[in-house]
Chain A
Amino acid sequence: MANDLSVRELVRTFGDFTAVDDVTFDVPQGSFFSILGPSGCGKTTLLRMVAGFDEPTSGTIAIRGTDMCGVPPNKRPVNLVFQHLALFPMMNVAENIAFGLKRRGMQSAEISRKTQAILERVDLPGYGDKRINQLSGGQKQRVAIARCLVMEPSVLLLDEPLGALDLKLREQMKVELKKLQAKVGTTFIYITHDQSEALVMSDRIAVMNNGRFEQVGPPRELYSDPHTPFVARFVGENNAWSGTVEEVDTHVRIRTEEGLLFRARSHDAYPAGTRVDLFLRPEALRIEPEGKSLNTFKVTVKTILFDGANSRLLTVTPKNHELLVSLPQNRQFDYIQPGDIITLDWHPDSGLCFEA
């Protein structure tokens, strides 16, 4: 499959500060690609370079095989949905959508035909005469996307466009965006700091930190097999525990600071005595297991964090180390009260450790 976007060894520095540090990736045609990272990680700088608002210090950006170096934003086959949408308040919906087509010098009959068609595509037929401030948040979102899609870009860039919406609408728009992308088939590159947005919508995600890509892969892989401690911490919830490697066989034997001994998995073979961080997902911890293994230990329930399907127990080990434990949905543990002492256990493959 052809790549719509190829970025090679891209670097952008501002004085002494390196905002984007040697980034290389490809986005295949028609896929939904997300760049996920905390604010200040360089993802916006990267996006601005792809859009053409900023020039790389070194490295190349190619769109459909054409090098984009020196091509101004108005000449690139990419469009950008802005964080705050940047819909032109002085124009109505149709004028907003027609703006780019007019710049191309298209016939007005053709423009109005295309405008109608794209409005239907984003489920806003007949909204052409509405003013921007008459639209709801979700409708504005769709107009902003329609305004870009009507240009038939090779790549559509989206800069955290859901950030300004309230929670309910955000959940709804996540699904809608995913469906829209599948329908139109345009390559989407989506920038976000919200890991749930990235996990739900993307075909592939790049996790970015301090200007570098930590890991690129499908959502499932990032979640179940993070390659770096940063990814383990940033994608999904994780309990972190520091300890020391005692012995390595098929698994790593780790002694935590409070003396508990566990078996866990690691990507690299660490020699005995290495200080490591152990990451355990809350849903990997089994409550009151049958039988006993090396990874069995006891904790005290501190409080119950009830959140519907996402309810968890906040527990502490005897040395006061906090651990979050997922509550299964079959209500079998409804009897647990704060102050109870419970037994936990986990499979050695579900704990992952990295050198600290």
Chain B
Amino acid sequence: MIRSLPNARTYTWSFNLFILCYFTFLFAPLAVTCILAFNDSNFPSLPWYGFSLDWFTSPGPERVGIFHDEQNLRSIWTSFQTAFWVALFSTVVGTCTALLFEQEEFPMKNGLYFLMLAPLVIPGVILGISLLLAANSAGTFFEDRFGIDIGLFRPSFWLVVFGQFSFITTFVALVVSARLRKFDRTLEDAAMILGATRLEAIGLITLRYLRPAIIGAAAVAFLMSFENFNTTLFLVGSEPTLPINLYLQVRDGSTPVINAISLLLITGTSCLALCNLYFSKKED
């Protein structure tokens, strides 16, 4: 049954086989996507016509490789910018949230905590539409009342940032809270009795202790933002993020340039994820 108990050979082998199948199931689509990025063909499918880097480097006009594909490159850059701001905002606010709920006492704390968890259980699509509606209402209000047109309230780059920030912050808060719960509060008291103010104590001791968790959470926030689709779909303006842009291309028929982008994405995110994992292991 478990490792310490005697197991029948068939039991062990069938279990091993099952796990092998499972991991094949897990990796087959990714592996096929990556391999077909190098196929010297105009369609992302078999047969194999030979190895080619066309879908990465070809300048066109027949085949436009990813490094020359203006539209996709622009969407990658948009995604980078979005993810950067989302990671920044959600890390700052998420850390504040963790410190607030772990260290401070105030009335209605439980109610607010519940509200803080709500983005976890609100489907992303609904977050997107409700933010779109609210932004639109606010925009109309400002235009009717003051006669000013605020671009922020129309689907745009910053609306996407705020939409993603609204739920990613909860994840950051949970990650940082988990680490903060292991923090010995007397370290803060010790800093204060040695002459530090409360803010100095938090900055010099608590945040320094939380640093690995904060960096990890920022990386997760960056990734979550980079690949978010559901919320972004409703808030995106004239600058589509990469997932939106890819979606439009996949829906309307595809070329292996999508495979090339996918390959870059897979390598990039894997590296980031592995780094994150490595550093969090090291800290423990």
List residues of B (193-219) whose CB comes within 8 Å of A's CBs. Answer: 193-197, 200, 204-205, 208-209
List residues of A (66-125) whose CB comes within 8 Å of B's CBs. Answer: 72-76, 78-80, 82-84, 86-90, 99-100, 103-104
Contact between chains at B208 and A73 (CB < 8 Å): no
List residues of A (256-280) whose CB comes within 8 Å of B's CBs. Answer: none
How far is A41 from B81 in the complex, measured between Cα atoms in Å? Answer: 58
Residues of B within 8 A of A104 (CB): 195
Contact between chains at B190 and A74 (CB < 8 Å): no
User: Residue B143 at the A interface, CB < 8 A?
Assistant: no
Tell me how many residues of B have a C-beta within 8 Å of chain A: 17
Question: 1/0 per residue B125-136: CB within 8 Å of A?
Answer: 000000000000
Contact between chains at A79 and B193 (CB < 8 Å): yes
- For A79, the closest partner residue in chain B by CB is B193
Contact between chains at B195 and A88 (CB < 8 Å): no
Contact between chains at A84 and B191 (CB < 8 Å): no
- For A159, the closest partner residue in chain B by CB is B186
How far is A355 from B209 in the complex, measured between Cα atoms in Å? Answer: 55
How far is A86 from B205 in the complex, measured between Cα atoms in Å? Answer: 11
Contact between chains at B194 and A151 (CB < 8 Å): yes
How far is A74 from B194 in the complex, measured between Cα atoms in Å? Answer: 6
Residues of B within 8 A of A83 (CB): 186
User: Residue A51 at the B interface, CB < 8 A?
Assistant: yes
Given contacts A86-B187, A103-B200, contact A73 B205 (CB under 8 A): no
How far is A84 from B190 in the complex, measured between Cα atoms in Å? Answer: 11
Residues of B within 8 A of A78 (CB): 193
User: Residue A147 at the B interface, CB < 8 A?
Assistant: yes
Given contacts A86-B184, A90-B209, A103-B200, contact A151 B195 (CB under 8 A): yes
Distance between B2 CB and nearest chain A CB, rounded to angstroms:
34
Given contacts A88-B205, A99-B194, contact A73 B186 (CB under 8 A): no
User: Residue B149 at the A interface, CB < 8 A?
Assistant: no
10 A-B pairs in the complex with CB atoms less than 8 angstroms apart: A52-B193, A73-B189, A82-B189, A88-B190, A99-B191, A99-B194, A99-B204, A103-B195, A151-B194, A151-B195
Give B contacts to A, CB under 8 Å. 184, 186-187, 189-197, 200, 204-205, 208-209
